Amino acid sequence: MRLSGDLTAEDVANAYKATEDALKENERISFFAEVEDSANLTLEGLAKDIVEGIGQICKLSRYYRAAVVTDKSWIASVARAEGVLFCLARGTVDEVTFREPREGLTFGVASDGTLKATKAKKTLEIKKNLLRAGPIDGVVDITRLQVELTTAGSAELATEMIRKPEEQSIAWINND
């Protein structure tokens, strides 16, 4: 399927009908969708997709493969999540690992609120000493942070604030 423009509930119904027709003629099917940049799912289309998708759960064993090609990051994320659920429900995988993409950088401090510069042997107590007090509790006082960074070796602390890509594993436990 190639998806473009506004995708209405009628469009979604037609796609599911085509899928049902293919299932009538074949024991197993594969699914390929190319989602163009102009594709936009309407609210009614989304609702219809959810309802129809739930109806397909009992037929998962008849789906062999599925692929989605898109430049839209949110659609890619949904497709990945659906793919994981699809594989877990079919019992074709026992464990899934998600990794943040390496091309994106996020910044932060340790969960205890500290930032450590190993070479400079300096630890900034962000949570304890550098948060504003008053009506905006929990917000870092940027002026005080700037002073601390300047005196503590700001380059090393800045690189320590770059968070490593996180990884999360989900194990499927079968209680049979």
* pLDDT, mean of residues 39-54: 87
CA-CA distance, 9 to 16, in Å (whole number)?
A: 11
Q: Does the pLDDT of residue 105 top 60, yes or no?
A: no
**Nearest one of 80, 68, 74, 72 to 32, comparing CA atoms:** 68
What is the token pair recorded at 15?
Answer: 């796609």
CA-CA distance, 172 to 84, in Å (whole number)?
A: 11
Instruction: Please tell me the predicted confidence (pLDDT) of residue 24.
Output: 94
* pLDDT, mean of residues 8-12: 93
Estimate to the nearest angstrom the gap between the alpha carbon of 85 and the chain centroid: 13
Q: Does the pLDDT of residue 174 top 80, yes or no?
A: no
Concatenating the DSSP letter of every residue in 127-140 gives HHHSB--STTTT-B
Instruction: Please tell me the predicted confidence (pLDDT) of residue 13.
Output: 94
Q: Is 85 helix (H, G, I), strand (E, B) or coil?
A: helix
**Nearest one of 56, 51, 48, 50 to 23, comparing CA atoms:** 56
Q: Does the pLDDT of residue 91 top 60, yes or no?
A: yes
Instruction: Please tell me the predicted confidence (pLDDT) of residue 6.
Output: 92
Q: How confident is residue 93, by pLDDT bands cut at 50, 70 and 90?
A: low
Q: Does the pLDDT of residue 52 top 70, yes or no?
A: yes
* 105 contacts: CB under 8 Å, gap ≥ 6: 162, 163
Q: What is the pLDDT of residues 118-147, one digit of tens each?
A: 777 778 787 788 777 766 666 777 787 778
Look up the pTM and report it. 0.50
Q: What is the pLDDT of residues 58-79, one digit of tens each?
A: 887 888 888 888 888 878 777 7
CA-CA distance, 3 to 37, in Å (whole number)?
A: 9
Q: Does the pLDDT of residue 101 top 70, yes or no?
A: no
